[in-house]
Chain A
Amino acid sequence: QQPVQSPQAVILREGEDAVINCSSSKALYSVHWYRQKHGEAPVFLMILLKGGEQKGHDKISASFNEKKQQSSLYLTASQLSYSGTYFCGTQPHGSGNTGKLIFGQGTTLQVKP
């Protein structure tokens, strides 16, 4: 039931782009993306509520393909501050009125100068 994230790790130079994928075996209500720095709390990036929805925040955007039960996070022109571990959290259909999130295993992103 845990979504699968790929890649597990990626190293970039400043200014390069990256894509992080999140795939679920279950139909999803929503996908939530977080970034976590080592030892700190996960920080909310964006939430995708509808199939096909794309959202953007500065140079970070995401899409949600409901049919494929997949979401992708796009980081463009990466900055040093983008370094951290990215998690997708999913709410599968059948969650009822709970808001519990099932998180992927994380993708570690390192941006080098």
Chain B
Amino acid sequence: DSGVTQTPKHLITATGQRVTLRCSPRSGDLSVYWYQQSLDQGLQFLIQYYNGEERAKGNILERFSAQQFPDLHSELNLSSLELGDSALYFCASTAGGNQETQYFGPGTRLLVL
């Protein structure tokens, strides 16, 4: 158990819909990272937040957005969903600096029908 929690574990929805994925970092960690893992792709970095502020962006689609709240939990919002958005979404956390070990949560499996 990494100490990172994610909800829900599974999500099934239809194209065009909007969903919210939630992540709580390990106690004391200030930085949250979101990654997407689809069947034919490895782990793709989406976005990083540090203490409520966006720190880095990867290949995140404009239909996707994220935020980190004062209690440090983070939410990833996916809208206008397409079939290709079906994937495992992981979040990871670190204390804050770079070159630190990232501990991954159990992931949310999203299926868009």
Give chain A's interface residues, CB within 8 Å of chain B. 2, 29-30, 32, 34, 39-44, 47, 49, 87, 89, 91, 95-106
Would A99 and B103 count as touching, CB distance under 8 A? no
CB-contact partner of A99 in B48, B88, B90, under 8 A: B48
Q: Which of A2, A40, A100 has the most CB of B within 10 A?
A: A100
CB of B102 within 8 A of chain A? yes
Q: Is the interface of B mostly helix, strand, loop or mixed?
A: strand
Interface of A is mostly: loop
Residues of B within 8 A of A40 (CB): 106-107
Q: Which of A2, A39, A99 is in CB contact (< 8 Å) with B102?
A: A99
Could you list 23 examples of A-B contacts with CB < 8 Å? A32-B102, A41-B2, A41-B107, A42-B104, A47-B100, A87-B42, A87-B43, A96-B56, A96-B98, A97-B97, A98-B48, A99-B33, A99-B102, A100-B33, A100-B45, A100-B48, A101-B33, A101-B43, A101-B102, A103-B42, A103-B43, A104-B42, A105-B42
